[in-house]
Amino acid sequence: MFQSIYDTMIAGQRYVLIFQGLGVTLLIAICAIIIGTILGCILALMKISDNRLLKGIGTLYTTVLRGLPLATQLMIFYFVVFAPLHLPKLIVAILAYGLNSGAYCTEIFRAGIQGVDIGQTEAGRSLGLSKRQTLFKIILPQAVKAVLPTYTSEFIVLIKETSVASFIAVMDMTKAGDMIRNATYNAWIPLLTCAIIYLILTLGLTKVFDIFEKRMARSDR
Amino acid sequence: MKKVLLFALILLLAASVCFAGGSKEKKVINGIADLEGLKIGVQTGTTGEAWVQDNVKGVKLNSFKSGIDAALDLKNGAIDCVVIDELPAQAIVEKNPGLAIIRAKEFSDNKEEYAIAVKKGNKAVLDVVNATIKELQSNGGYEKLVAAFMPADGKIVIPTIANNAKAGTIKLGTNAAFPPFEYVEGKDIAGFDISMGEYIAAKAGVKLEIVDMAFDSLIPALQAGTIDFIAAGMSITEERKKNVDFSIPYYASEQVIIVRK
């Protein structure tokens, strides 16, 4: 058993592949969540605005991006949309995941904002705050707290979904596992290694966001 | 309640063992005629896949992302045989003593030729590729590559190819699960096609970048311009000729059948 782990992972420095893949996975996930969060903020505000055009754009965006499977989307971005630009495939992957995550973040944020009791808006407005002031000073701080758990799960989903990046030849961790499987004819060691690392990542992330949540909950008491 | 659950679990286990055992039942395969109605594994987008689809009656086709995954599934007993190119089959069987190769006359009568593919109309790259292949065939470099990657004693020595290029890259698209033409050696991608790609890059005066992707994504990637040429043990077919331009052929191969011993 230890011998086969050694033969599969250590010999020929194959573990390096896993680490390279892990780096790519993390890079894609982190960059994508940043893009997604920024996009989500903008689009969520567009969707709750009174302007019909802005609202329409927001709705169209979330409908299309959430309505297509991620693997399909990724290939559309790589082979069709960004193909004429000749961007590096890692950049395309980050953009594709970011744009996709943006759609989910939009809905998460919108739900959070609209979940704040309407009385809060009314109170703010009757205190003489402008619409904008009410949104940024009263509604958003409360929404952030409400949104955090769902936002965490979006981040976790994103990390896991990077595993289809190999569709466009990005060497993420799953692909690294694939390459090891193809080189060693051993399926379970590379796959289990990847599985454990994904689990550690998602567990760690959940813990980190748990701490955030508890910090924010302090002001409730 | 616990007892019921336990019982159900045991039943489930027993059932799965029965079913798994059932599919492992040995099928006698001696040639193409025996393939009818079997579960056959192939690699997506290969000539083997097209052949099985067109020629085997009642086949249950299992298309895998790589031929090696198909071989793994064959080892696990989920499929009955794998139809794949000769040399990758030899590499697979060499590392998996439980598998064996069966040759068929129909396959050896219809040899396939591997060539490098470029985007339709991309004469600049095609000329470099053809010039490189011709040069290798005339200066003995080709024989050296064959000796390096298909040695009689099975000990592959990957040649180092000098490339002094400072700027610019040319992108080679491949599917690194096709030994000895392209495979993962340690943490790098190596193989006959890759070394040939190195020669092509050196001739073009640029660096080589290897892009590893699914075999059936290679032609779309070429058309989208995300790779410059395909070196992936790709056989020349009429269907593919409609979508890409092929170089002069560099290797003749045939399909074989891999079975469990």
Closest residue of chain A to B214, computed from CA coordinates? A167
- CATH no. for residue A44? 1.10.3720.10
A119-151 pLDDT, tens per residue?
Answer: 999 999 999 999 899 999 999 999 998 899 999
Closest approach of B105 to chain A, Cα-based (Å) = 29
In tens, the pLDDT along A71-93 reads 999 999 988 898 888 888 899 99
Give chain A's domain count. 1
Domain range for A172 is: 2-220
CB-CB neighbors (< 8 A) of A177 in chain B: none
Complex ipTM > 0.85: no
With a cut of 80, say whether residue B23 has pLDDT above it.
no
Distance from CA of A91 to the nearest CA of B (A): 13
User: B138 and B229, same structural domain?
Assistant: yes
Does residue B212 fall inside a structural domain?
Answer: yes
Contact A109/A41 with Cβ under 8 angstroms?
yes
pLDDT tens-place string over residues B36-90: 999 999 999 899 999 999 999 999 999 998 899 999 999 888 899 999 999 999 9
Tell me which chain B residue has its CA closest to the CA of residue A88. B226
Residue with tokens 């055992």: B21
B71 touches chain A (CB under 8 A): yes
Judge whether B192 lies within some domain: yes
Cis preceding linkage at B180, omega within 30? yes
Chain B positions touching A76 (Cβ under 8 A) are: none
Query: Is residue B214 within 8 angstroms of chain A, CB to CB?
Result: yes
Check if B209 contacts A (Cβ < 8 Å).
Answer: no
**B87 lies in a domain?**
yes
Interchain proximity B217–A169, CB inside 8 Å: yes
Domain CATH code at residue B48? 3.40.190.10
Domain of B219, CATH number, reads: 3.40.190
- State the pLDDT at residue A87: 84
pLDDT above 70 covers a percentage of chain A that reads 100
Contact B187 A83 (CB under 8 A): no
Q: Do A86 and B176 touch (CB under 8 A)?
A: no
Token duo for residue A43: 């689009």
Q: Whole-angstrom Cα distance, residue B47 to residue B113?
A: 11
Per-residue pLDDT for chain A (221 aa), expressed as one digit of tens each?
Answer: 788 888 888 887 888 999 999 999 999 999 999 999 999 999 999 999 889 999 999 999 999 999 999 999 999 998 889 888 888 889 999 999 999 999 999 999 999 999 999 999 999 999 999 989 999 999 999 999 889 999 999 999 999 999 999 888 898 999 999 888 888 888 889 999 999 999 999 999 999 999 988 888 887 76
Q: Tell me which residues of chain A, numbers 58 to 77, contact chain B at a CB-CB cutoff of 8 Å.
A: 75
Closest by CA to A14, choosing from A178, A163, A197, A159, is: A178
B166 and B58 housed in the same domain: no
Question: Who's near A13: CB < 8 A, 6+ residues apart?
Answer: B186, B187
Look at residues B259, B7, B244 and name the one whose alpha carbon lies nearest to residue B115.
B244
B21 pLDDT band, cuts 50/70/90, is: very low
Chain A residue with the nearest C-alpha to that of B222: A79
Count CA atoms closer than 13 A to B173's CA, side-chain side: 27
pLDDT tens-digit readout, B117-156:
999 999 999 999 999 999 999 999 999 999 999 988 878 8
Distance (Å, whole) CA B202 – CA B189: 18
Do B220 and A84 make contact, defined as CB atoms within 8 angstroms? no
Contact B176 A79 (CB under 8 A): no
Both B121 and B222 in one domain: the answer is yes
> Which candidate from A79, A171, A175 shows the least CB-CB separation from B224?
A79
Q: Give percent above pLDDT 90 in chain A.
A: 70
Would residue B7 count as lying in a domain? no
Residues B106 and B126 in one domain: no
Do B54 and B130 share a structural domain? Answer: no
- Which residues 222-261 of chain B have a CB within 8 Å of chain A? 224-226
Task: Give the number of domains in chain B.
Answer: 2
Interface of A with B in 11-30 (CB under 8 A): 12-14, 16-17, 20
Give me the residue from B68, B75, B211 closest to A182, CB to CB: B68
Q: Measured between beta carbons, which residues in chain A are less than 8 angstroms from residue B96?
A: 185
Q: What is the domain extent for residue B217? A: 116-234
Select the residue of B71, B75, B187 nearest A14 (Cβ to Cβ): B187
Q: Could you tell me how far CA A19 lies from the centroid of its own chain?
A: 21
Q: Looking at the domain assignment, is residue B35 inside a domain? A: yes
- pLDDT of res. A221: 65
**How much is the pTM?**
0.81
Class of residue B106 by CB neighbours under 10 A (exposed 0-12, middle 13-18, buried 19+): middle
User: How many inter-chain contacts (A to B, CB under 8 Å) are there?
Assistant: 72
